[in-house]
Amino acid sequence: MSDKGLRPIMFAGTGSDVGKSIIATAFCRIFRQDGYHPAPFKAQNMALNSYATPEGLEIGRAQAVQAEAAGIECHTDMNPILLKPSSDKVCQVVLNGRPYGNQDAYQYFKTDGRRKFCDAVNDAFDRLATCYNPIVMEGAGSISEINLRDTDLVNMPMAIHAGANVILVADIDRGGVFASVYGSVMLLSEEERKYIKGILINKFRGDIRLFESGIKMLEGLCGVPVIGVVPYYKDIYIEEEDSVMLQTKNLQASQGKINIAVVLLRHLSNFTDFNALERDPRVHLFYTNNTDEIKKADIILIPGSKNTISDLYELRKNGVAQSIVQAHKDGATVVGICGGYQMMGLEVCDPLHIEGDIDRLPGLGLLPVSTTIGGEKVTRQVQFSFLDDDSVCSGYEIHMGTTLPDEKEKGSPVNRLKDGTMDGYFVDNKCFGTYVHGILDNKAVIDYILEPYAGKLNKTVFDYKQFKEEQYDKLADHVRKYVDMDLVYKIMTTDSV
């Protein structure tokens, strides 16, 4: 490792879903492998997939994954603004890890009051930059949303504040790569274009030699080098930022494996709760809201939701609620996490109308508990013991609401937290709920819920933490192979913009 510090690097995109998050994750691991002490940073993230920091604050899951790849604990300074959509037009704004309020898009993007958000993201970056080097920054959406230029916090204004080298990431798989790259660069102001130091072509399929002339054309048009052409991959598994592709995992039941259905909610959050199970060789996991597929599953998992009452209403309306209850009567296991736990109870009440206009909605009636949605959000990392197992498990909580047993019922907790408090409600080995996200990352819990179906397969040991580390290394090797790292380091050690 050079004694000289590296200037920040930002991976900005020609559009959404071009692979910025994955590329940033790869570089976090590459810099760590090369002896540096990197940290990720995204000023503003929009996602329902969030994570609790060790301090009990909330950030986007993508930055938590990038921090994990960098080998460090995550922190709110890595993602000071998180927008969590609660409807098509309204988002909960999470500022420095704490709920700031609900705002519609017009309110959030108007110029009045924008200084507060701008100062917050700049201050967060400045704090992070004093502790880590290099900072691996990520843009959002397109780098050239010129209609939002005056209120942009996450792309070029952030790069200029940080003095970052910007690498423009383009997805060649979707087509139009020349127009998207050239158009993105040319729509920037002359001052902004000075910060564009390279182009990275992502998701390439076929023989890269056929694109060599295209590289020269792009470099000639844009006046900056192409630092690499990264091929599309299928055999590397990194947590995804968005849930838009979950439907593609909706596959038919698999013979010789334990079939697990995750209920596909409209406002599904924290779908990464199921990543460990998805990679477990004993399991065939799929996402569905098809009533017939739910009835065929061995295990049904009801995930978290950004709007529990709205999703519960939809489940009752489309028949999924009834299919879950019937499947359980027929012998299937049903486990609810966070919002899913709330839905499994007798009722969900929202007297303050935090989630909408509905005061009360009956739950699935699988657990003798009732939930009242409250105004204060709980966010914290937790350690706990699961049922009677002595091993120490870990996870995190992000929820609004209090869930209590019916007055005729005694408490029957699933987890005993390290601070002595109890979590969840346990009916039997085929019916329980918990507020703990990440509970299924723990071997003791996975083995417990799979045990009733062990007769379908031979036991296989699976270490999810080790698996993730292997995937980060595979991703780093893949990107390093196709990117000119000597050029990247040269760019990052140049003093002038």
**Catalytic annotation, residues:** 338, 437
| CA dist., res. 151 & res. 112, Å (int) | 10
| CA dist., res. 349 & res. 340, Å (int) | 14
| CA dist., res. 315 & res. 321, Å (int) | 5
Give which of 402, 399, 401, 361 is closest to 382, Cα–Cα.
399
Give which of 93, 101, 82, 438 is closest to 270, Cα–Cα.
438
Task: Give, in order, the Cα–Cα distances in Å from 188 to each of 79, 192, 215, 216.
Answer: 24, 6, 21, 21
**What single string gives the DSSP state of each residue in 299-356?**
EEEE-EESSHHHHHHHHHHTTHHHHHHHHHHTT-EEEEETHHHHHTSSEEE-TT-SS-
Catalogue the E-assigned strands of 190-278.
196-204, 226-231, 258-263, 268-269
Give which of 378, 381, 382 is closest to 418, Cα–Cα.
382
